[in-house]
Amino acid sequence: MNYHNYATRLRIDLCIRMLHAYFDGKLIEKIDRIPLDMRPRGGEHARCCIYRDRAIIRQRCISVLGFGTGPEEDELTPLADYARRALERTLIEGPVLHVIEEGCSSCIRSRYEVTNACRGCLARPCMLNCPRRAIRIVQGHADIDPALCVNCGKCLGECPFHAIIRIPIPCEEACPVDAITKDEQGRAVIHFEKCIFCGKCMKACPFGAIMEKSQLFDVLEQIRRGCRVVAMVAPSIIGQFPGSLGQIAAGLEKLGFCAVVEVAHGADMTARHEAAEFTERMARGDACMTSSCCPAYTDLVKKHVAGLAPFVSSAATPMHAMGAWVKQQFDPQARTVFIGPCFAKRHEALFDSCVDYVMTFEELGALLVAREIDVAALDAVDVEPAGRREGRGFAVSGGVTRAVAGLLADGAGAPLVVPALVDGLSKKTIALLKTVARERQPGNFIEVMACEGGCVSGPGVVAPGAAAVRQLEKFLENSQAIRNGCADQHSHAQR
């Protein structure tokens, strides 16, 4: 397993411990001891004491079981009760993210500070250029009055010694839609009426205090009960685990999935729909069309940039297309499980009758470790229906554009694709999208990805983006195109 940081390692190790207990048939009996086993007396601890560490691990256990934590949680409720409820649960409820209160360090607000590199210079440009006169000299050094400072940052740019630094709040900085604020105790609060479930806050929090509510045990219970459970693997799975796609599929079958299908096949359907819709829109004189495959982006439009709604493609996401295919062509009673890198997909699935559960690559990795399955050592199996090069390329930024442009390249009378790429949602790129809503289009086909680099950089991955992209590119080279001579047009990056 690849660990991005210690918080990731703790999350995965905890998941593996819980899975071991589950497969031993003793999850309910053993789960209350897990926090104690992970933080024994006399051992190391990451916070002020082992007791706070244990409290945080306990809340993490609740998250892995698929529940949220917060003021309504009773600390006296045994973890065994949560485990019992998780194993009996039939209904998945949102929201999919929550803040572990004990884990949040109650960071003070983002601010500017003067370091000891300050020389107390005669010029004092920081003082003279401060619009609020918030800086004064105290004992020969500059000092910022927080009561007057408005965080404009002018002082940082003026200091010739770079003695002024900005101290950010990571989760708030990462959120592109300002959906995170502080409560009275200084703890992070997610405002779900604004949240687009991109997962950037979870990746950014250095304390690992923001967690997703897992559906892992719901999936395992469906398999244990003998239900037909179909794994729908996202195109970005290539490069996440050692071995080929066929070997990964073999590993999933060993875990109990009755079949494995590529969501890239659903992406092929989405690409065809978007190509046809783009042709229709251009024929009737529309200024542009944007992609619709990223649910974080479409949530952004619904909640923050309503003016973009007329430009968004009506194509279903690849996940929905594949879920519908499984229900219609494979087995209407099958349980569909999307396996990918995305938290927004977990939120999307709450409202999609064709997708029953969502797992991340991180969860799949923990599951493979717990079952001691070495994917690279397995004999590959066929994955049907197989995705094509176009759909498999959806995993990286620009992939949707290449698919749509490629499908239109040789068509008689097809409109010319003038592409623009919004590679990652941030306050800056959202400002760009608002200009599009005001009919200032940088192109006529605009692809929007919430994660920089595309889905391969999602919050639920286990492999670094660059390494995964290299593996995916090799995979695409050997993939069959929807038709011969599929053109590859370069997209213009807007960052």
Write down the residue that tokens 């819709």 correspond to: 277
Per-residue model confidence (pLDDT) at position 384: 86
Same domain, 358 and 310: yes
Per the structure, the complete domain to which residue 197 belongs is given by 91-107+170-213
Of the candidates 201, 425, 433, 402, the residue with the CA atom closest to the CA atom of residue 296? 425
Indicate if the pLDDT at residue 151 is higher than 70.
yes
* Cα–Cα dist 65/17, whole Å: 12
Work out how many domains the chain is built from and give that number.
4
Per-residue model confidence (pLDDT) at position 490: 34
* Domain presence at residue 368: yes
* Cα–Cα dist 142/121, whole Å: 9
* Domain presence at residue 219: no
Same domain, 156 and 176: no
Residue with the larger pLDDT of the pair 190 and 487: 190
Mean pLDDT for 158-164 is 95
List the single range of 60-74, 155-169, 203-217 with lowest mean pLDDT. 60-74
Q: What are the tens digits of pLDDT across the range 108-134?
A: 778 899 999 999 999 999 999 999 999
Same domain, 313 and 452: yes
Per-residue model confidence (pLDDT) at position 492: 34
Same domain, 24 and 116: no
Same domain, 458 and 325: yes
Same domain, 30 and 40: yes
CATH of the domain at 177: 3.30.70.20
Indicate if the pLDDT at residue 224 is higher than 60.
yes
Same domain, 263 and 306: yes
Give the model's confidence band at 55: pLDDT under 50 very low, under 70 low, under 90 confident, else very high. very high
List the single range of 1-5, 100-104, 191-195, 417-421 with lowest mean pLDDT. 1-5
Indicate if the pLDDT at residue 218 is higher than 90.
yes
Same domain, 301 and 366: yes
**pTM for this model (two decimals):** 0.90
Residues 6+ apart with CB under 8 A from 457: 341, 451, 465
Same domain, 203 and 332: no
Same domain, 9 and 128: no
* Cα–Cα dist 21/40, whole Å: 18
* Domain presence at residue 220: no
Indicate if the pLDDT at residue 486 is higher than 90.
no
